[in-house]
């Protein structure tokens, strides 16, 4: 899987990349999600000043940050500090996404991130927060990190990564997010810093931590079978409307655990796309859940790569 295109919509709004200063007329500030892209030539500080000078910041509802570097790849922290310093100028901001970057612009594992906790601390009314990237393979001063916080209005939290640090997963599980409805974690692989263990997921699976949670995505993992087995008996499943175990190395072993575990027929949707299931087991999953009205996504069947006498299964997003 590659990120071939930028967001077209975000937080229910069409995404508009901030045009050049010669643009005669801009749309209403609250009518679009504003995307900032340095385009390899404009320093982020200059781009940010242009944005805050031209767009009424008090009305901005959604921000999407694209490439923040103007020359060589650089870490996110200086750009994020500029945004956070102006947080009081954005009282209407309800959604922020960091790193809407395509694979042609920068591989996901090369994105040099930072501690993103200050976003949740600076924007107490934020409803949606997303981050793309994870371990930067030693390129940046610090990897993606998060500290446990309480946030009363956050409804959507999404981490897209080819190697999500286990520290971030543990911090999410320790957060107090009473309004959280959707949580999506792309866990990735150990080669790119994805060192999450099943034990790290335990607080998320126990239920009760996030009482409003209705969608859980534990995706893109080389431990997808083990995750499926843990989910099969996890208390949190009873409160969900949709579940995603997609994009990873799910095989018949994980699918059998789901079939033999607690009932999943209350789910409106089960997303297992990008999988390694045999057709016989895939049919059993479709029959068991589809007959109860659950939408099951079993698209993107994968065939293991073979190396000498061994099979290699791969996640959708890693490098």
* pTM score: 0.96
pLDDT of the residue at 4: 76
pLDDT of the residue at 311: 86
- Residue 169 CA, distance from chain mean position: 12
Residue pLDDT, tens place only, 96-126:
999 999 999 999 988 999 999 999 999 999 9
The chain-wide mean pLDDT, for the chain, equals 94
Mean pLDDT (whole number) for 245-250: 98
Task: Give me Rg for the CA atoms of the chain.
Answer: 20
pLDDT of the residue at 79: 96
- pLDDT higher than threshold 60 for residue 1: no
Residue pLDDT, tens place only, 20-51:
877 768 999 999 999 999 987 889 999 999 99
Instruction: Identify the residue whose tokens are 């893109």.
Output: 220
Q: Three-state DSSP class for 193?
A: coil
φ, ψ of residue 12 in degrees (nearest 5): 75, 10
How many other CB atoms sit within 10 Å of the CB of residue 319?
Answer: 15
Residue pLDDT, tens place only, 198-239:
999 999 999 988 999 999 999 999 999 999 999 999 999 999
């Amino acid at each position: 899987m590659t990120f071939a295109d930028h967001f077209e919509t975000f937080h229910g709004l069409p995404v508009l990349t901030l045009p050049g200063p010669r643009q005669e007329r801009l749309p209403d500030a609250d009518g679009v999600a504003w995307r900032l892209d340095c385009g390899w030539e404009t320093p982020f500080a200059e781009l940010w000043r242009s944005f805050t000078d031209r767009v009424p910041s008090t009305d901005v509802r959604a921000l999407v940050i694209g490439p923040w570097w103007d020359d060589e790849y650089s870490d996110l922290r200086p750009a994020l500090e500029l945004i956070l310093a102006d947080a009081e100028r954005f009282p209407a901001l309800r959604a922020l996404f960091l790193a809407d970057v395509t694979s042609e612009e920068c591989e996901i594992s090369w994105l040099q991130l930072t501690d993103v906790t200050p976003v949740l601390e600076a924007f107490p009314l934020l409803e949606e927060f997303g981050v793309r990237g994870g371990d930067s393979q030693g390129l940046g001063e610090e990897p993606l990190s998060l500290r446990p916080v309480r946030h009363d209005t956050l409804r959507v939290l999404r981490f897209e990564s080819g190697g999500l640090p286990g520290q971030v997963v543990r911090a999410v599980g320790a957060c107090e997010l009473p309004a959280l409805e959707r949580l999506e974690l792309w866990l990735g692989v150990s080669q790119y810093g994805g060192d999450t263990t099943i034990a790290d997921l335990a607080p998320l699976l126990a239920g009760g931590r996030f009482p409003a949670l209705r969608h859980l995505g534990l995706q893109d993992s080389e431990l997808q079978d083990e995750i499926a087995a843990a989910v099969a008996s996890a208390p949190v499943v009873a409160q969900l409307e949709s579940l995603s175990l997609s994009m990873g190395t799910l095989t018949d072993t994980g699918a059998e655990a789901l079939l033999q575990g607690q009932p999943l027929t209350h789910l409106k949707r089960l997303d297992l796309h990008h999988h390694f299931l045999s057709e016989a087991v895939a049919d059993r999953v479709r029959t068991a859940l589809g007959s109860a009205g659950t939408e099951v996504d079993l698209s993107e069947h994968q065939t293991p790569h073979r190396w000498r006498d061994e099979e290699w299964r791969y996640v959708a997003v890693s490098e």
